[in-house]
Copies of this chain bind each other. A is one copy, B any other.
Amino acid sequence: MEYTKPLQKLIEYFQKFPSIGPKTAQRLALYVLKMDTYEVQSFANAMVEAKTTIKYCSNCFNISQNDPCEICSSPIRQKDVICVVAEPKDLMAIEKTNEYQGQYHVLNGLISPIDGIGPDDIKVKELLLRVHKNDIKEIILALNPSVEGEATALYLSKLLKPFGVKVSRISYGIPLGSELEYTDELTLIRAIETRVEV
Protein backbone atom coordinates (compact mmCIF):
# COMPACT_ATOMS: atom_id res chain seq x y z
CA MET A 1 0.00 0.00 0.00
CA GLU A 2 1.21 3.48 -0.89
CA TYR A 3 0.15 7.02 -0.20
CA THR A 4 -1.70 8.84 -3.00
CA LYS A 5 0.52 10.10 -5.85
CA PRO A 6 0.68 13.82 -4.97
CA LEU A 7 1.62 12.98 -1.38
CA GLN A 8 4.18 10.39 -2.49
CA LYS A 9 5.74 13.00 -4.78
CA LEU A 10 5.93 15.54 -1.96
CA ILE A 11 7.59 12.99 0.35
CA GLU A 12 10.21 12.31 -2.33
CA TYR A 13 10.97 16.04 -2.63
CA PHE A 14 11.46 16.40 1.12
CA GLN A 15 13.79 13.40 1.10
CA LYS A 16 16.19 15.25 -1.20
CA PHE A 17 17.03 17.71 1.58
CA PRO A 18 20.22 17.07 3.55
CA SER A 19 19.80 14.88 6.65
CA ILE A 20 16.10 14.28 5.94
CA GLY A 21 15.40 10.53 5.91
CA PRO A 22 12.25 8.73 4.72
CA LYS A 23 10.49 8.96 8.12
CA THR A 24 11.11 12.68 8.57
CA ALA A 25 10.14 13.36 4.94
CA GLN A 26 6.85 11.58 5.56
CA ARG A 27 6.23 13.61 8.72
CA LEU A 28 6.99 16.91 6.98
CA ALA A 29 4.78 16.08 3.98
CA LEU A 30 1.89 15.04 6.23
CA TYR A 31 2.34 18.32 8.11
CA VAL A 32 1.88 20.23 4.83
CA LEU A 33 -1.55 18.58 4.51
CA LYS A 34 -2.44 19.83 7.98
CA MET A 35 -1.47 23.45 7.22
CA ASP A 36 -4.04 25.95 5.91
CA THR A 37 -4.15 26.11 2.11
CA TYR A 38 -3.26 29.79 2.37
CA GLU A 39 -0.20 29.00 4.47
CA VAL A 40 0.99 26.30 2.06
CA GLN A 41 0.66 28.78 -0.80
CA SER A 42 2.68 31.43 1.10
CA PHE A 43 5.38 28.92 2.00
CA ALA A 44 5.63 27.80 -1.64
CA ASN A 45 5.87 31.44 -2.73
CA ALA A 46 8.49 32.24 -0.07
CA MET A 47 10.62 29.39 -1.37
CA VAL A 48 10.47 30.51 -5.00
CA GLU A 49 11.02 34.14 -3.95
CA ALA A 50 14.08 33.30 -1.84
CA LYS A 51 15.55 31.25 -4.69
CA THR A 52 14.89 33.79 -7.44
CA THR A 53 15.70 37.05 -5.63
CA ILE A 54 18.75 35.96 -3.67
CA LYS A 55 22.06 37.41 -4.80
CA TYR A 56 25.65 36.75 -3.87
CA CYS A 57 28.29 39.38 -3.20
CA SER A 58 30.63 39.25 -6.21
CA ASN A 59 33.59 39.91 -3.92
CA CYS A 60 33.20 37.53 -0.94
CA PHE A 61 30.32 35.32 -2.29
CA ASN A 62 28.22 35.63 0.82
CA ILE A 63 24.44 35.79 0.39
CA SER A 64 23.52 39.46 0.06
CA GLN A 65 20.85 41.82 -1.22
CA ASN A 66 23.46 44.36 -2.27
CA ASP A 67 26.61 43.89 -4.28
CA PRO A 68 29.18 44.37 -2.78
CA CYS A 69 27.68 43.20 0.52
CA GLU A 70 27.50 45.17 3.77
CA ILE A 71 30.69 43.64 5.12
CA CYS A 72 32.78 44.16 1.97
CA SER A 73 31.61 47.77 1.67
CA SER A 74 31.92 48.65 5.36
CA PRO A 75 34.42 51.49 5.88
CA ILE A 76 35.20 50.46 9.46
CA ARG A 77 36.19 46.84 8.90
CA GLN A 78 39.80 45.75 8.53
CA LYS A 79 40.66 45.27 4.85
CA ASP A 80 43.83 43.17 5.01
CA VAL A 81 42.53 40.05 6.78
CA ILE A 82 40.27 37.52 5.08
CA CYS A 83 38.51 34.75 6.99
CA VAL A 84 37.72 31.83 4.65
CA VAL A 85 34.56 29.82 5.44
CA ALA A 86 32.72 27.03 3.64
CA GLU A 87 29.13 28.28 3.90
CA PRO A 88 27.17 31.47 4.66
CA LYS A 89 26.01 29.87 7.92
CA ASP A 90 29.63 29.64 9.11
CA LEU A 91 30.11 33.35 8.41
CA MET A 92 26.92 34.00 10.35
CA ALA A 93 28.24 31.98 13.33
CA ILE A 94 31.45 34.03 13.43
CA GLU A 95 29.59 37.32 13.01
CA LYS A 96 27.42 36.46 16.01
CA THR A 97 30.50 36.55 18.26
CA ASN A 98 30.92 40.26 17.43
CA GLU A 99 34.69 39.84 17.74
CA TYR A 100 36.07 39.43 14.24
CA GLN A 101 36.37 42.70 12.33
CA GLY A 102 38.02 41.64 9.06
CA GLN A 103 36.76 40.48 5.66
CA TYR A 104 35.30 37.10 4.64
CA HIS A 105 35.47 34.77 1.69
CA VAL A 106 32.70 32.16 1.35
CA LEU A 107 33.86 29.13 -0.66
CA ASN A 108 30.28 27.85 -0.97
CA GLY A 109 31.44 24.28 -0.50
CA LEU A 110 34.45 22.17 0.40
CA ILE A 111 36.68 20.01 -1.79
CA SER A 112 35.24 16.48 -1.70
CA PRO A 113 36.40 14.05 -4.40
CA ILE A 114 33.83 11.46 -3.20
CA ASP A 115 31.01 13.88 -4.01
CA GLY A 116 32.73 15.01 -7.21
CA ILE A 117 33.45 18.49 -5.84
CA GLY A 118 36.83 19.81 -6.99
CA PRO A 119 38.55 23.19 -6.48
CA ASP A 120 36.81 24.59 -9.59
CA ASP A 121 33.37 23.92 -8.09
CA ILE A 122 34.00 26.23 -5.13
CA LYS A 123 35.27 29.83 -5.01
CA VAL A 124 39.01 29.10 -4.86
CA LYS A 125 40.10 30.99 -7.99
CA GLU A 126 38.18 34.02 -6.75
CA LEU A 127 40.03 33.90 -3.42
CA LEU A 128 43.43 33.80 -5.15
CA LEU A 129 42.38 36.74 -7.30
CA ARG A 130 41.48 38.75 -4.20
CA VAL A 131 44.82 37.97 -2.58
CA HIS A 132 46.60 38.85 -5.83
CA LYS A 133 44.78 42.14 -6.34
CA ASN A 134 44.70 43.45 -2.76
CA ASP A 135 47.24 43.94 -0.04
CA ILE A 136 46.25 41.03 2.21
CA LYS A 137 48.28 40.33 5.36
CA GLU A 138 46.54 37.23 6.68
CA ILE A 139 44.18 34.52 5.56
CA ILE A 140 42.36 32.75 8.42
CA LEU A 141 40.97 29.36 7.43
CA ALA A 142 37.80 28.68 9.45
CA LEU A 143 36.75 25.34 7.99
CA ASN A 144 35.12 22.39 9.73
CA PRO A 145 37.55 19.85 11.25
CA SER A 146 36.22 17.18 8.84
CA VAL A 147 38.06 15.24 6.14
CA GLU A 148 36.78 17.70 3.52
CA GLY A 149 37.59 20.71 5.66
CA GLU A 150 41.14 19.50 6.32
CA ALA A 151 41.72 18.66 2.65
CA THR A 152 40.47 22.06 1.54
CA ALA A 153 42.59 23.82 4.17
CA LEU A 154 45.70 21.94 3.05
CA TYR A 155 44.99 22.69 -0.60
CA LEU A 156 44.40 26.39 0.04
CA SER A 157 47.45 26.83 2.24
CA LYS A 158 49.69 25.37 -0.51
CA LEU A 159 48.19 27.72 -3.11
CA LEU A 160 48.39 30.76 -0.85
CA LYS A 161 51.95 30.38 0.47
CA PRO A 162 53.60 31.65 -2.80
CA PHE A 163 51.77 34.96 -2.35
CA GLY A 164 53.81 35.57 0.81
CA VAL A 165 50.62 35.92 2.84
CA LYS A 166 50.33 34.57 6.38
CA VAL A 167 47.94 31.60 6.44
CA SER A 168 46.42 30.49 9.76
CA ARG A 169 43.57 28.26 10.79
CA ILE A 170 41.22 28.41 13.78
CA SER A 171 42.37 26.18 16.60
CA TYR A 172 40.82 22.81 17.37
CA GLY A 173 40.63 21.50 20.90
CA ILE A 174 38.47 21.05 23.94
CA PRO A 175 35.39 23.28 23.87
CA LEU A 176 35.26 25.83 26.68
CA GLY A 177 32.99 24.80 29.53
CA SER A 178 33.22 21.11 28.70
CA GLU A 179 35.09 18.47 30.68
CA LEU A 180 38.18 16.49 29.75
CA GLU A 181 36.49 13.30 30.84
CA TYR A 182 33.72 13.69 28.27
CA THR A 183 35.84 14.87 25.37
CA ASP A 184 36.05 12.38 22.49
CA GLU A 185 39.43 10.73 21.88
CA LEU A 186 40.23 12.38 18.57
CA THR A 187 39.66 15.85 20.00
CA LEU A 188 41.77 15.00 23.03
CA ILE A 189 44.63 13.70 20.87
CA ARG A 190 44.43 16.89 18.81
CA ALA A 191 44.35 19.05 21.92
CA ILE A 192 47.50 17.39 23.25
CA GLU A 193 49.31 17.52 19.92
CA THR A 194 48.54 21.21 19.49
CA ARG A 195 49.36 22.13 23.10
CA VAL A 196 50.43 25.71 23.68
CA GLU A 197 53.30 26.89 25.88
CA VAL A 198 52.15 28.93 28.85
Q: Report which A residues bind B (CB closer than 8 A).
A: 1, 3-7, 9-10, 13, 17-20, 24, 26-33, 35, 37, 40-54, 63-65, 70, 87-89, 92, 95-96
Contact = CB atoms under 8 A, between A and B. Distances in A.
A81 to B, nearest CB: 18
Contacts of A19: 24, 27
Contacts of A6: 46, 49-50, 53-54
16 contacts: A1-B96, A3-B88, A3-B92, A5-B65, A6-B46, A6-B54, A7-B50, A7-B63, A13-B42, A26-B89, A32-B51, A33-B50, A33-B51, A37-B51, A41-B48, A44-B44
Contacts of A26: 89
A131 B13 CA distance: 39
A20 B79 CA distance: 38
Contacts of A87: 30
Given A28-B17, A30-B89, A31-B18, A51 B40 contact: yes
Given A26-B89, A49-B6, A54-B4, A17 B31 contact: yes
Contact of A27 (B33, B41, B51, B89): B89
Contacts of A70: 1
Nearest to A24: B19
A65 B49 CA distance: 31
Contact of A43 (B13, B30, B46, B50): B13
A50 B32 contact: yes
Given A3-B88, A32-B47, 20 more contacts: A4-B64, A5-B65, A6-B46, A6-B49, A6-B53, A10-B46, A10-B47, A10-B49, A10-B50, A17-B31, A18-B28, A19-B27, A30-B87, A33-B54, A37-B52, A40-B47, A40-B51, A41-B48, A44-B44, A44-B47
